[in-house]
Amino acid sequence: MISLIVLVVYCLRVCQAFELGSEIQAINQEALSDSLLGKNASDSGRTVAIIGAGAAGSSAAFWIGKGRERLGVDVTADIYEAEGYIGGRSTVVYPYNSTQYVPVELGASIFVDVNKNMMRAAREFNLSLLHFEDNAEVNGVWDGEKFIVFLGGSRLSNWWNLLQVIRRYGWRSPKRTIDIVNGMIKSFLTLYTRDTPRWRTVAEASSRLNFTQFTEDTLSRYMEGKGVDRLWTHEVIEAATRVNYGQNADEINGLGGAVSMAADDASGVEGGNYQIFENFVNRSGATIFLNTPITSVKRSSSSLAQWEVSTAAGDAKTYDAVIIATPQTSSVRLSQPYNDTKSKRKFVHLHVTLIATTAERPSATFFNTPKPPKWILTTRENARNGGPEPEFNSLTYHETLVVEGKPTEYVVKIFSKERISDEWLNKAFDGQVGWVYRKEWDAYPYLLPRPDYSPVVLDQGLYHVNAFE
């Protein structure tokens, strides 16, 4: 849900131009010339290859275009994308493969107000936003056998559920969690100011934002050290980390947990968030090559100041700079010494299952409750104590499908670590399942506690921006 947060970190100084206008052009010129193209950025015909057209790659192209437009820097960019679309892990599908229905997000579904570049981009590009903060649906936390707590709802049920939360966890742990999250957000927001801390590595950025305290330990241990009750962390906060990052509280680092709880004022672009990234590319002046996987990046044999980029089709072209904006799991092979296998991180392999069902809510029989909620999150706490593993990370009702002459259907999205079978779906929705769509992908890196970070600047003119993940 919050994975789009990394967008605002990339090209940090350059991105400030979007927020603050032309007042800081001198800073932008320094960042663009010294950090991206080297000291000779004023030379004619400088070229940049961007590998990947997701959030990072498309925004990189956009900011390079802004640099050319505002600063008079003579630079051209080519974008290489292995898939046939722009947006990376932000993409949509249509129920029953029919455009008569509203599109459904497969991946990064929402962003929040503190993702200021996303919010600004939506406004600048005249994209309509859907706001989710008024959703009155009850959220249930399922432990694999039963619902242990309900959160939210309409006024009456919200108050009742709040009383049950306080009864189970007390009020100090929720309050301390709010304070921790607000402190993290306050630090994060300094990225958008003129006083942004200067840094050249992720480690420096983490330290100056005071994020290292979060990343050096698991969420569970970090919150315990802050006086937060273990049960609250392992049931409620873990429910958020499982839906957002597919990871448990005793695995994920503290920053992943804090970000997962910072989902207030959530929004999404009507028709799909990918439209922001399409606009980034279309307004960048870059040339986009879709369905063009890159297989290798190496020093040019004719010039040590340039990089040779090779495609799967066997074509090769040299560039002054290369921005790798794909996860380390991609097919891009770097020559030594840049192909450091020790710095590579594993990714969560996620199963996304979308269905259309005539069931207004999940099966009461399957979930053993008279009125199961339409938003179900999960915790592994019961499994830690010998109970069964939850069979999914989250199950949420989304769009309503209305077509004249047909029964009303509801789109349901299920995240899980394993494939959800047709038999399971029929049990969970009382056999009222029509359309089914399955997608597997490496959705996000394992955010494990770590003492070090992968480098962003691999060499002069060679960058791996997804190291921020």
The pLDDT of residue 34 is 47
The SS3 assignment for 469 reads: coil
Per-residue confidence (pLDDT) for residue 4, from 0 to 100: 29
Q: 341 versus 368: which is more confidently predicted?
A: 368
User: Residue 340: its pLDDT value, please?
Assistant: 61
Whole-angstrom distance, CA of residue 310 vs CA of residue 463: 16
**Domain annotation covers residue 322:** yes
Helix, coil or strand: residue 356? strand
Q: Are residues 213 and 86 in the same domain?
A: no
CA-nearest of 75, 79, 78 to 37 is 75
Q: What is the DSSP letter of 390?
A: P
177 domain residue, yes or no: yes
Per-residue confidence band for 132, with pLDDT thresholds at 50, 70 and 90: confident
> Containing domain of residue 56, as a range?
3-33+45-91+270-345+450-468
Q: How far apart are CA 364 and CA 373, in angstroms?
A: 10
Nearest C-alpha neighbor of 467 from the set 382, 340, 287: 340
Q: Which residues contact 94 (CB under 8 A, 6 or more apart)?
A: 101, 103, 104
Do both 275 and 330 map to the same domain? yes
Instruction: Supply the pLDDT for residue 135.
Output: 58
Domain boundary (263, 296, 319) is at: 263
Number of domains the chain is built from: 2
DSSP string, 205-230: HHHHTT-HHHHTSBHHHHHHHTT--H
d(CA 171, CA 177): 10
Banded pLDDT at 44 (limits 50, 70, 90): low
Whether residue 151 is contained in a domain is answered as no
Q: State whether 178 and 293 are in the same domain.
A: no
DSSP codes of every residue in 160-202: HHHHHHHHHH-SHHHHHHHHHHHHHHHHHHGGGSTTPPP-SSH
Average pLDDT score over residue span 429-444: 96
Select from 235, 263, 291 the last residue of a domain. Answer: 263
Weakest-pLDDT range from 23-27, 347-351, 461-465: 23-27
Do 86 and 210 have their domain in common? no
Mean pLDDT over the full length of the chain: 87
Range of 41-50, 218-227, 261-270 with top mean pLDDT: 218-227
Confidence label for 447 from pLDDT (cuts 50, 70 and 90) = very high
Instruction: Report which of residues 12 and 113 the model is more confident about.
Output: 113
Q: Based on the fold, state whether residues 252 and 276 are members of the same structural domain.
A: no
d(CA 210, CA 326): 26
Instruction: Give the span between the Cα atoms of 364 and 383, in whole angstroms.
Output: 22
Average pLDDT over residues 432-452: 93
- Which residue in the block uniquely carries the two structure tokens 């089914």? 436
Helix axes 12-20, 116-124, angle to 10 degrees: 50
Banded model confidence at residue 108, pLDDT cuts 50, 70, 90:
confident
- pLDDT value, residue 7: 29
Confidence category of residue 42, pLDDT binned at 50, 70, 90? very low
Question: Same domain, yes or no, for 331 and 461?
Answer: yes
With respect to residue 57, please indicate whether it lies within any of the assigned structural domains: yes
Inside any domain, residue 462: yes
In a domain, 141, yes or no: no
Shared domain for 71 and 7, answered yes or no, is yes
Q: pLDDT tens, 170-211?
A: 999 999 999 999 999 999 999 888 888 788 888 998 999 999
Q: In this structure, which amino acid lies at residue 333?
A: R
In the listed set 263, 282, 303, which residue is the last one of a domain according to the structure?
263
Of 133-142, 302-311, 334-343, give the range with the top mean pLDDT: 302-311
**Do 18 and 82 share a structural domain?**
yes
| Residues 308, 332 share a domain | yes
Of 211 and 8, the one with more pLDDT: 211
Query: Which pLDDT tens digit goes with each residue over 223-274?
Result: 999 999 999 999 999 999 999 999 999 999 999 999 999 877 889 999 999 9
pLDDT band at 36 (very low <50, low <70, confident <90, very high): low
> Which region among 14-18, 92-96, 182-186, 257-261 has the lowest average model confidence (pLDDT)?
14-18
Question: In the predicted model, what is the mean pLDDT of residues 293-300?
Answer: 92
> How many other CB atoms are found less than 10 A from the CB of residue 381?
22
**Residues 322, 461 within the same domain:** yes
Assess if residue 7 is contained within a domain. yes
The reply to whether 280 and 239 lie within a common domain is no
- Residue 160 pLDDT exceeds 70: yes
End-to-end CA distance of the chain: 14
User: CB-based burial of residue 417 (10 Å sphere; 0-12 exposed, 13-18 middle, 19+ buried)?
Assistant: middle
Q: Decide if 353 is inside a domain.
A: no
What is the Cα–Cα distance from 208 to 190, expressed in whole angstroms? 10
Q: Which of 127, 82, 430 is nearest to 277 (CA)?
A: 127
Q: In sequence order, which ranges of 283-436 are alpha helices (DSSP H)? A: 364-367, 381-384, 422-428
Among residues 333, 346, 138, 167, the alpha carbon closest in space to that of 247 is found at 346
Q: Say if residues 354 and 341 touch (Cβ distance below 8 Å).
A: no
327 and 243 within one domain = no
Both tokens of 96, joined, read: 């029953």
Percentage of the chain exceeding pLDDT 90: 67
Over residues 406-425, the pLDDT tens digits come to: 999 999 999 999 999 999 99
| pLDDT tier at 336, thresholds 50, 70, 90 | low
Query: What pLDDT shows up at residue 157?
Result: 63
Q: How far is CA 123 from the centre of its chain?
A: 20
Kindly state the DSSP code that residue 263 receives in the 8-state scheme.
-
In order of 15, 113, 217, 274, 447, the CA distances from 8 in angstroms are 8, 12, 24, 16, 18
